A and B are shown apart, each in its own frame.
Chain A
Amino acid sequence: MLVLSRDIYDQLRKHGESTYPHECCGVLLGKSDNGKNTVLEAVPAGNTRTDSAHNRYNIAPVELVRIQRQARERSLDIVGFYHSHPDHPAQWSATDFAEAHWFGCSYVITAVQEGQAAITNSFLLTGTSEEDKQFETERVEVL
């Protein structure tokens, strides 16, 4: 289950609208407890895939290192990531799955239709290795 405030939920959806028709991306910081990821902060990140930003995203590892450091200083963890699918459904793609390596983290996807945020879904990456990993649809609780 993913738990986040209305403000954070709106923030990541608006990020998707602001980068439309390109994908947005960012990191979710908070606390993880036995399959429940509680988000306390969403950190927008740059999309380095400027060659194909309408259907690809990538967060520069050095930016992730800095975000992880920020999180540590505030006693928070990286509990998930978000990105948008411009004019595509809020469902994970084969690329999302192939590039998912953060087990136990939530992967939030917002469909942005003609510039407006539509459905937001979250998928928990379960399993223990590249061989047995799975995306499981998880409940999103907006407080």
Chain B
Amino acid sequence: MKIYIPTPLRAYTATLDAVDVPAATVSEALAKLTEQHPGIQPHLFTADGKLRSFVNIYLNDDDVRYLPEKEATPVKDADSLTIIPSIAGGAPHFDGGCCL
């Protein structure tokens, strides 16, 4: 199956925007991806192996977090996974200024 890589993570996939992996489940696909491209691992997972909170994984058009079997969901060769970091933000509450 194909895993689509977002712009900021292509630095860890030799600039590839998609990586093909043989896999039977979502978690196996992600494991294959990190085997092939180890540098991407810490950008997807925390030190204890959990998917980072701001990293979304979509199986075709479905958020894997909301699938009944989550990362154990079976996949077919024709399926695709998309890695998509979240995008959010907003104006400051009170001070109108920038920064931390």
**A interface residues, Cβ below 8 angstroms from B:** 23, 25, 27, 32, 49, 52, 54-59, 61-62, 64-66, 68-69, 72, 77-79, 81, 83, 85-89, 91-105, 107, 125, 128-129
CB < 8 Å neighbour of B89 from A27, A57, A104: A57
Which residues from chain A contact B17 at a C-beta distance below 8 Å?
72, 77
CA A35 to CA B85, docked complex, whole Å: 20
CA A62 to CA B96, docked complex, whole Å: 31
CA A102 to CA B96, docked complex, whole Å: 24
Interface size class of B (residues with CB under 8 A): 20 to 34
Q: Is B36 an interface residue (CB 8 A)?
A: no
B7 touches A59 (CB 8 A): no
A32 touches B4 (CB 8 A): no
CA A61 to CA B51, docked complex, whole Å: 15
A99 touches B8 (CB 8 A): no
A93 touches B87 (CB 8 A): no
A95 touches B92 (CB 8 A): yes
Nearest neighbor of B5 in chain A, beta-carbon distance: A68
| Distance of A53 from chain B, by nearest CB (Å) | 9
Q: Can you report 28 residue pairs joining A to B where beta carbons are below 8 Å apart? A: A27-B87, A49-B90, A55-B90, A56-B88, A56-B90, A57-B90, A59-B87, A59-B88, A64-B56, A64-B87, A65-B82, A72-B4, A72-B17, A79-B7, A86-B91, A89-B97, A92-B89, A93-B89, A93-B91, A94-B100, A95-B90, A95-B92, A97-B89, A99-B54, A101-B54, A101-B87, A102-B7, A104-B11
